[in-house]
């Protein structure tokens, strides 16, 4: 089965600082999703990456998938308190149609 490892597990930054969250897979990624979750709430879709070397941006958040399609990073520029939450990467494996396996999550705290 596909396993995803996220790092760091938690992150505390000062408002305005940049930060990066990593997601590493034990197998080739056919689709890599990034979601954000506020505690006790559902998941908000951020971005999906499929192609090796692909990079997508939305507002101040940029996600990249490496050429080998086994590692992805999520970068937040000039962080704000509204960025606080739990960031989860999820992957679709090649043989499990549509099933998402999630990393353990990264808890982000942004101090004003």
Partner 1 sequence: GAVVSQHPSWVICKSGTSVKIECRSLDFQATTMFWYRQFPKQSLMLMATSNEGSKATYEQGVEKDKFLINHASLTLSTLTVTSAHPEDSSFYICSATSPRSSTDTQYFGPGTRLTVL
Residues that bind partner 1 (CB under 8 A): 30-31, 33, 35, 40-45, 48, 50, 88, 92, 94, 96-105
Among 73, 86, 75, smallest CA distance to 29 is for 73
Nearest residue (CB) to partner 1, 42 versus 112: 42
Residue 50 or 80 having the CB closest to partner 1 = 50
Q: Which is nearer to partner 1, 15 or 31 (CB)?
A: 31
CB nearer partner 1, residue 18 or residue 104? 104
Task: Specify burial of residue 15 (Cβ count, 10 A radius: 0-12, 13-18, 19+).
Answer: middle
Cα dist from 20 to 1, 64, 99, 100, whole Å: 26, 11, 26, 22
Minimum distance from residue 80 beta carbon to partner 1 (Å): 21
The residue among 91, 88, 39, 36 whose CA lies nearest residue 65 is: 91
């Amino acid at each position: 089965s596909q396993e995803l490892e996220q790092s760091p597990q938690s992150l505390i930054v000062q408002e305005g600082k940049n930060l990066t969250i990593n997601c590493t897979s034990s197998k080739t990624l056919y689709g890599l999703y990034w979601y954000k979750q506020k505690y006790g709430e559902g998941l908000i879709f951020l971005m999906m990456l499929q192609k090796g070397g692909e990079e997508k941006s939305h507002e101040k958040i940029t996600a990249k998938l490496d050429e080998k399609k086994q590692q992805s990073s999520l970068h937040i520029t000039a962080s704000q308190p509204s960025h606080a939450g739990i960031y989860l990467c999820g992957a679709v494996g090649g043989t499990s149609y549509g099933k998402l396996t999630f990393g353990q999550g990264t808890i982000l705290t942004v101090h004003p």
